[in-house]
Structure 1
Amino acid sequence: MTAAKKTVSPLFRAIESLHGERPWGSFLDAGTGRNSLQWVCGLDTERWTAVTASGSMAKVAREAAGKGLREQDRVIVANWMSDDLLYGECFDTVLLDYFIGAIEGFAPYWQERVLQRVRPHVKHRLYIVGTEPYVLDDPGTEEGRIVQRIGRLRDACLLIGGGRPYREYPANWVQRQLGVAGFRVCEIRHFPIRYRERFVNTQLDLCLRQLDGFKDEKLAAAMREHVDSLREQALPLARSEAGLPCGADYVIAAEPLDKRHHALAMEDPAQDQA
């Protein structure tokens, strides 16, 4: 191993289980962050490449990698909308960790293109981690409704403050897009979420940071009161043994299909050179 393993998310443990005895080989963390790169550094990879569109996240990722950052490894600041990004490079294993939802902030209205864009870089295995949407539909429990209210308040503050909310996509949508992009879905696993104090505070603190962007001071003041009230309601439940159960994360394992099985025509480099 290249680095000592810290506490690993059950989602990453699930990926390890799905991967089995296959070698990790060359690894692409297509939308890197602290948690994913710490995990990648604990795997027996030949080399890894981590991509983020955020310069500040790149700094966080490098710090998270620490001594796990070897000479052959790299962190790249770039946007997947660029055709030049990783042109001609292929990786044995590719990870999209909450990537499809998060890309809304950097490449809006592009989600249906993501898997087609990544497809040429996947040699053997693609792993996708995501969250089932929880902001729109009634979760059916009071605890779930509190989580939903936090999510709706976060998105409202982002929009009014001039930001752009993340946009989660369900596993069945991702599964359809994988087929269109030329992948075979190997397995899908769901993991029920039990939100805790950290979720409540990070999401509501994000709301507070957006208030400086409000042009209406009265609205900002009212929103601050609403944030404080919702925090007061949510924290006792989040700190309880049961927490705030709501929704689920998912892990999808997929493999690229042979070109003749693709729903979309794939570019032929030989024809391009003709």
Structure 2
Amino acid sequence: MAGLTTERWTAVSGAQRHAMQVRDAVERVRRPQDRIVLGNWADPALLADERYDTVLADYLLGAIEGFAPFYQHRLLARLRPLTGSRLYFIGLAPYVNQPADDPAARLVRQIGRYRDSCLLLSDDQPYREYPAEWVADHLEASGFKVLAAQRFPIRYKARFVNSQIDMCLPRLEGLADRNLARALRASGETLRQAALDHIAREGSISHGHDYVIAAEPA
């Protein structure tokens, strides 16, 4: 994004750590008029009365659960007055609560359920993904016209596996029930090894898809 020709840009994050990561990543090319804003989309004052030629919602729908639970049905209407010309909506097809009909699907679902269990036990909120069909319906109900949509198959590698298991480790350290923490850590390591073994055999864990939906104000 920072390499595109723009007059100015505004990046919004609900997490301070993520906002700092973005700041560090673009520091060399960031201009005085470019902004990184820490805020919550449920706050009506966030970007109030602002308008942008292009809005990029990058995995926003799934992440909103961690900052504004149950706000998903309002999110797209919230983006409508900000969008002057084009909205690009990037999402991840749900997999934690979906059928798993093959070894790859079962591994990805197990990893997601393990991660979410650890988050809930540590009083954190897991993400909640929505399918592209839900997004398209709510875009049209929120004053957008869907122009195009495309799916991109996912091939998970070791980086995904390790990041999902590793994010649970500090949370397990904080559990009061140490027997439960030890059992969950052992379960996570068993799951990690099974996933890495699958990647060693198959080259990746091929399951699910990301999607991109392009829309404009109706």
- The structural deviation recorded for 1:241 is 4.9
Secondary structure class of the residue paired with 1:68: coil
- Out of 146, 150, 164, the position equivalent to 1:185 is 146
Write out per-residue CA displacement over residues 121-165 of structure 1, whole angstroms, 9 at most, x where no aligned residue: 000000011110011122311011111100000001101111110
Counterpart in the other structure of 1:68:
29
2:92 to 121, 128, 131: 131
Percent of counterpart pairs with the same letter?
48
Q: What is the number of equivalent residue pairs in this alignment?
A: 218
Structure 1 residue 94 and structure 2 residue 41: aligned?
no
- Structure 1 residues 99-135: Cα deviation after superposition (integer angstroms, max 9, x where no partner): 0000111000100000111110000000011110011
Q: Does residue 1:144 correspond to 2:94, yes or no?
A: no
Partner of residue 111, structure 1: 72
Q: Quick one: distance in 2 between partners of 1:226 and 1:218?
A: 12
The answer to whether residue 182 in structure 2 is matched with residue 221 in structure 1 is: yes
CA distance in 2, matches of 1:123, 1:43: 18
Aligned counterpart for 1:161 among listed residues 122, 136, 139: 122
Q: Give the whole-Å Cα distance in 1 for the aligned partners of 2:21 and 2:201.
A: 31
RMSD: 1.1
Partner of 1:43: 4
**What letter corresponds to residue 143 of structure 2 in structure 1?**
G
Contact 1:196–1:239 under 8 Å retained in 2: no
Give the aligned residue type for 1:76. V
What is the TM-score with the length of structure 1 in the denominator? 0.77
Gaps of 5+ in 2: none
- SS in structure 1 of the partner of residue 9 of structure 2: strand
Structure 1, unaligned stretches of length 5 or more? 1-39, 258-274
**Residues 181-208 of structure 1 deviation map (CA, whole Å, 9 limit, x = unaligned):** 1000001100010000000000000122
